[in-house]
Structures are given as structure tokens and as C-alpha cells.
Amino acid sequence: MILGLSTGLFTGIHVVLSLLGIATGFMVLFSMIGNRKSAAWTAWFFISNILTDVTGFLFPFKGITPAIILGGLSLVVLLVALIGYYIKRLAGGWRGRYVVAAAVALYFNVFVLIVQSFEKIGPLKAIAPTQASPAFGIAQLIGLGLIVLLTVIAYRRFKPAVRTNALEEAVK
């Protein structure tokens, strides 16, 4: 039991949060590519990804694992993105930091999705039972390449108007 829920139910919630984080991450990234800020998608992206990381830490502790390390790194990257978006309001270098940090957080979830897919989906597990096969490496390279490509495009295109203080806006 975890938080009063069966381990299976808790795992299901964790997986749904992770998939929601991936879906909203792509929505945010495509919004940036279209040079749009989407407050709703961005909020759901942050909420779902933070909850994914936090619920990941609630599973029975069996020592420091790659999953725990990745969850910690994800929270750090999400913190940078949160600061850039909500506190620094994408001003100056914070626009770029936000784009890259949000994309890295998305990539961490995609990375885990690929790992879990090769562990849990029969045909994929048959191809790479130890995840040491070329198929697993190719899948990870495709995931990484896609995120890097979309991040570069988003970085170049996403140039939202930065809100300044009310006095500066009134003068314009």
C-alpha cells in the first residue's frame, strides 16, 4: 500500500500522470514552435510532471536507483523552467532557459517511457530483454533526436512579448 492505495492503483496513477506529462509537454513544445504561450498547457505540464516525480519517490525505497536520480534531476530542471516562466516571465536569457529546461523535462519522461516500454511490452521485451540490444539504443536515439530537433526549432521561434512593469507599458 502506498498512501492508502494498493500498489497497483498507485502505479496506475503514476503512469497516467507520466503520460499526461508527456502529452502536455509536447503541447507546450509545439506551442513554443508556433511562437505562442499557452498558460493552460504550461500549468498542466508543470503539475503533471512534478506529480510524476513526487509519486515516483513514494514507491518503496530500495536504495538509490537510476529512477531516483532521474526524478531528482527532473525536479531541478522543472524548477529552472518554473522560475523562467512564472518568476522571470521569460525575460532575457530566461526565455532560452525555459525552452531548454521544459524540453529536458519532457525528454526525461520520454526516456523513461521507452525504458518502461521495453520492460513491459512483450514484443519489445523480446527484441531487447536486457535493453542492451541495438533496437533499444535506436529507440532511445530516435526519442532524443526528436526532442533535440523540436527544442532547437522552439528555441529559434519562441519569442513571446515580455511583460514589463505597468509604467513601462503605459509609456509605450
Global pTM reads: 0.90
Domain encompassing residue 22:
7-160
Residue 22 · residue 106 · CB < 8 Å: yes
Residue 169 lies in a domain: no
Residue 170 lies in a domain: no
Residue 118 lies in a domain: yes
Over range 111-124, report the average pLDDT: 95
Query: Which of 60-64, 78-82, 108-112, 150-154 is least confident?
Result: 60-64
Q: How far apart are the first and last CA of the chain?
A: 58
The domain tally of the chain equals 1
Residue 94 lies in a domain: yes
Residue 11 lies in a domain: yes
Residue 33 · residue 153 · CB < 8 Å: yes
CA gap 34, 146 in Å, rounded: 17
Residue 167 lies in a domain: no
Backbone angles phi, psi at 62, to 5 degrees: -125, 35
Query: What is the average pLDDT score of the chain?
Result: 93
